[in-house]
Structure 1
């Protein structure tokens, strides 16, 4: 019987808390445009970090077959075809990324970096369709993009990341 009363008390308590929380949410008025404008702007370092991590995760979502090809001792023709498709998918994902508005001072560097990185993966996709692919030009293009990302980080007094190590 004690267990029943304890359980009943816990349920009643939970319902009471839920009701109080709902009343508190209803009591808060909607913010006006002036109040929204008066709120502090987002921390650019935080926005930059989130943008960078979204770039890393976008690439990592699609580059598994490419990484497997590049890491294989003797890749097969199927591995090479899958790597080409993987590289094209990465290029499309990177092209779809947008630089956040809060990073207006770094937009030029970041957009140029995204372009270079997307081009590097597109070059890899095209090279992997050849009998003897040469990926050096694609790697150089990637390094250029990585440098531009580093410049954007340094403009915010942040350490340069190594995108290649993240992938």
Structure 2
């Protein structure tokens, strides 16, 4: 009877140890999976932030490549030496070129979740520069409405930045300076 009791006790101890060792393996696998998921999440977050910065730089570069004459015109408005007719014509052409060039801006795949918002930003920027081009055809142009549209696009860009964990940008400072 003692032998059976010892044998049963040994069997129960073996089962208990086996169960504990399997539990340890499961916990280790869970920890490993969690660590891998965290790393993948961090990598995705970094890739998204990087893509947002690249998109922002592409937009600002696209605008800056063409809007120099427009910036010169706007800076001359209200000064002692108002802009000349040539400056006005150059500014109108520059604004139209910006509109055309913004059509080539593509939104990176890493920003799929922000795509609709970023498309709206690009469209508002195009609308702003088109409004400037249209206003500059007039005898007495007013760029106020176009500048409000630009400001709205800039605010939307800032919200897109925040949506990926970045501080808002200032596209106005980047392209008007």
Same fold (TM over 0.5): yes
- What CA deviation, in whole Å up to 9, does each residue of 1:107-140 have, x standing for no partner? 1110000000011000000000100001111011
For residues 17-96 of structure 1, the aligned pairs below 5 Å read 43-72=47-76, 73=79, 74-96=82-104
TM-superposed CA distance for 1:95, in Å, is 2.1
The size of the alignment, in residue pairs, is 129
Runs of 4+ in 1 over 6 A off after TM superposition: none
Distance 2:149 2:102 in 1: 14
Unmatched 5+ residue regions in structure 1?
Answer: 1-37
Q: Which residue of 2 aligns with 1:162?
A: 170
Aligned to 1:104: 112
TM-score, normalisation: structure 1: 0.74
What displacement does 1:93 show? 1.1
Q: How does 1:129-140 map to 2 (within 5 A)?
A: 129-140=137-148
Larger radius of gyration: 2
Alignment pair present for 1:150 and 2:146 = no
Q: Secondary structure in 2 aligned to 1:47?
A: helix
Alignment of 1:118 onto 2:126: yes
Q: Which structure dedicates a bigger proportion of its chain to helix?
A: 2
CA deviations on 1:42-83 (whole Å, 9 max, x unpaired) are: 710011001100111110000011011011131000100000
Residue 4 of structure 1 is matched in structure 2 by none
Measured on the aligned residues, the alpha-carbon RMSD in Å equals 1.4
Matched, 1:127 2:135: yes
- Per the alignment, in what secondary structure is the counterpart of residue 83 of structure 2? coil
Q: How many angstroms apart in 2 are the aligned matches of 1:116 and 1:95?
A: 12
